């Protein structure tokens, strides 16, 4: 069931996920489209999330934005970073001044993550929550998987020390799985939908921002799923639901994003993940398991949660016949 309406206010509004936003020309949503989008959200009882641009909006826009409950996503370079609920850092900046109560998305490629692990893990004690998004996860090699394992181990040791010291930092890659009892994926196209400046709906911002000529073998990537004028029209909506994802519905890497845009890009199917996405998510799952056990050596921790069970695979595709 739809729960969230994401409104991409401008073509240049930051990415906060795996996709790259290469748009440099401003294209602000019209005030009428914005108002209609908000009305749509109200009628459908959706929680609204605005993705703000890196420039000041005209006053009349800000009044309209504030006319309804919402959350704000802005890049660290946006004039709205100080009032955003989620601040996005595009790339690593060791001099960035984090807010101890802030929630951040750090978008980095694997190379930066691997090379700057010891700097990045220090952020865990400088903010309330850090979401690390690896922007080239589909390019992981077997050697990268090994490196990622040791990166997660370094983050785990830092988290364990902080938890033992009475702090409760959150890192999406490790602490989410410890807290979850069921899937908590992105669910674009199922739980959320995006309204773009052109007045059309898209499964997520990535499907709007795809270059006009991008084609992964299925025709154009930039495909809308309806508009404010004609209504929402998602073809085969069941394909975006967990119940119709044969691998994911049996999986317990609950923290996995299950990114349908990455799925489409890598396997041509929105409900079929790539090997890389699954292995990365399982390395995180297994590291979360080890972290939970390590923290529990120091005392009672999350007593209501069962241990995360040991499994023998990293890609559910390998055990699909057993399910």
* Residue 277 interacting with ligand SF4 (CB under 6 A): yes
Strand order across the 70-75 sheet = 170-171, 129-134, 103-108, 86-90, 70-75, 47-51, 4-8, 192-195, 201-202
Q: Give the nearest distance from C-beta 179 to ligand SF4 in angstroms.
A: 16
CB 22 within 8 A of CB 212: no
Cα(281)–Cα(131) distance, integer angstroms = 14
Residue from 2, 159, 174, 251 binding ligand SF4 (CB under 6 A): 251
Cα(98)–Cα(78) distance, integer angstroms = 15
* Residue 173 interacting with ligand SF4 (CB under 6 A): no
Radius of gyration of the chain (CA): 20
Q: Give the nearest distance from C-beta 239 to ligand SF4 in angstroms.
A: 14
Stretch of 26-34, 35-43, 88-96, 249-257 lying at the interface with ligand SF4 (CB under 6 A): 249-257
Place of tokens 């006009």: 212
* Residue 278 interacting with ligand SF4 (CB under 6 A): yes
* Residue 271 interacting with ligand SF4 (CB under 6 A): no
Q: Choose between 210 and 281: whose C-beta lies nearer to ligand SF4.
A: 281
* Residue 189 interacting with ligand SF4 (CB under 6 A): no
* Residue 253 interacting with ligand SF4 (CB under 6 A): yes
Cα(313)–Cα(322) distance, integer angstroms = 12
Cα(113)–Cα(84) distance, integer angstroms = 24
- How many residues bind ligand SF4 (CB under 6 A)? The answer is 12
Q: Choose between 128 and 242: whose C-beta lies nearer to ligand SF4.
A: 242
* Residue 256 interacting with ligand SF4 (CB under 6 A): yes
* Residue 273 interacting with ligand SF4 (CB under 6 A): yes
* Residue 316 interacting with ligand SF4 (CB under 6 A): yes
For the beta carbon of residue 82, count every other beta carbon within 10 angstroms: 10
Cα(86)–Cα(16) distance, integer angstroms = 9
Residue from 31, 247, 311, 319 binding ligand SF4 (CB under 6 A): 247
Q: How many helices (H) and strands (E) does the chain have?
A: 9, 11
* Residue 81 interacting with ligand SF4 (CB under 6 A): no
Interface residues with ligand SF4 (CB under 6 A) are 247-248, 251, 253, 256, 258, 273, 277-278, 281-282, 316
């Amino acid at each position: 069931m739809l729960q969230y309406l994401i409104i991409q206010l401008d073509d240049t509004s930051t990415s906060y996920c795996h996709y790259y936003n290469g748009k440099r020309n401003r294209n602000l949503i019209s005030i009428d489209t914005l108002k209609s989008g908000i009305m749509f959200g109200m009628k459908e009882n959706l929680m609204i999330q605005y993705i703000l641009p890196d420039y000041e909006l005209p006053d009349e826009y800000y009044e309209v934005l504030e006319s309804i409950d919402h959350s704000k996503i802005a890049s660290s370079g946006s004039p709205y970073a100080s009032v955003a609920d989620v601040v996005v850092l595009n790339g690593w900046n060791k001099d960035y001044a984090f807010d101890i109560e802030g929630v951040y998305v750090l978008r980095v490629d694997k190379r930066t993550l691997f090379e700057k692990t010891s700097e990045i893990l220090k952020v865990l004690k400088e903010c309330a929550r850090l979401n690390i998004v690896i922007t080239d996860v589909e390019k992981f090699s077997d050697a990268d998987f090994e490196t990622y394992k040791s990166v997660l181990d370094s983050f785990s040791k830092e988290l364990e020390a902080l938890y033992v010291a009475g702090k409760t930092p959150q890192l999406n890659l490790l602490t989410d799985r410890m807290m979850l009892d069921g899937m908590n994926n992105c669910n674009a196209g199922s739980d959320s939908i995006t309204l773009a400046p052109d007045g059309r709906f898209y499964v997520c911002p990535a499907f709007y921002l795809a270059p006009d000529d991008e084609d992964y073998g299925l025709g154009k990537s930039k495909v809308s799923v309806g508009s404010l004028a004609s209504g929402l029209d998602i073809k085969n909506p069941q394909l975006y639901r967990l119940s119709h994802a044969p691998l994911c519905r049996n999986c317990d890497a609950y923290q996995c994003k299950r990114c349908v845009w990455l799925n489409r890009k890598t396997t041509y199917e929105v409900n079929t993940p790539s090997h890389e996405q699954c292995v990365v998510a399982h390395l995180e799952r297994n590291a979360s398991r080890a972290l939970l056990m390590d923290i529990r050596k120091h005392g009672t921790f999350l007593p209501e949660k069962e241990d995360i069970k040991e499994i023998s695979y990293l890609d559910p595709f390998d055990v699909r016949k057993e399910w």
